[in-house]
Amino acid sequence: MRQSCLKALLPVVALTMACHESVAPPKQPALFVLETFNNQPLPAIIGAGGGDTTTLLFASLFLDGAASATIITHSHQVSLSSPPRDAADTARYSYRIVGDSIAFTYSTPCPINALCVMPPFGIVTSSTVTLFYGGSPSSRPIYFYRAIELMPAL
């Protein structure tokens, strides 16, 4: 009789444990550098059409270990209607890791009536982060970041 109760209780305990999420971000700060965009090494063309071209030169992703993230991108933009320009863009997010998935939300909410790009989501390991923006991963460009070692504080 006692064994049958144990057999009935075991699946309940196992299911309860399986549903528990691990949401803790990495304990240490981590810096990742963009290695490829859509499987192309940098610099990579990320947009072209109508005489306009945007080339991604460099990007970095910093996870602070306390659920805040910063993505910095450097690009070169050429347009028929204006002179070429170099651009540096910084985006700040909060992030959450569950298993090997990482999802970002804006640190400051997108203003009402603004056209904000959907925050990225992806897959994280100890040495890489693969990010996608909006929609499903199969229909979006792939941003592949590799970790670089941070210098210890002196």
Residue 56 is assigned to a structural domain of this protein? yes
Bond from prior residue into 43 cis (ω within 30 degrees of 0) = yes
Q: What is the largest CA-CA distance in the chain?
A: 83
Counted domains in the chain: 1
Q: What is the pTM of this model?
A: 0.76
What is the per-residue pLDDT for 4?
A: 46
Evaluate whether residue 15 is within a structural domain: no
Least confident segment among 1-5, 32-36, 103-107, 128-132: 1-5
**Mean pLDDT, residues 79-84 taken together:** 92
The predicted-structure confidence for 23-40, as pLDDT tens digits, reads as follows: 444 568 999 999 999 999
- Please indicate, yes or no, if residue 7 is contained in any of the structural domains: no
Residue 121 near residue 134 (C-beta atoms within 8 A): no
- Assess if residue 47 is contained within a domain: yes
- Reading phi first (left if > 0) and then psi (alpha if -120 to 50, else beta), residue 135 is in left
Domain extent for 49: 21-148
- The answer to whether 93 touches 106, Cβ cutoff 8 Å, is yes
Task: Specify the CATH number for the domain of residue 108.
Answer: 2.40.160
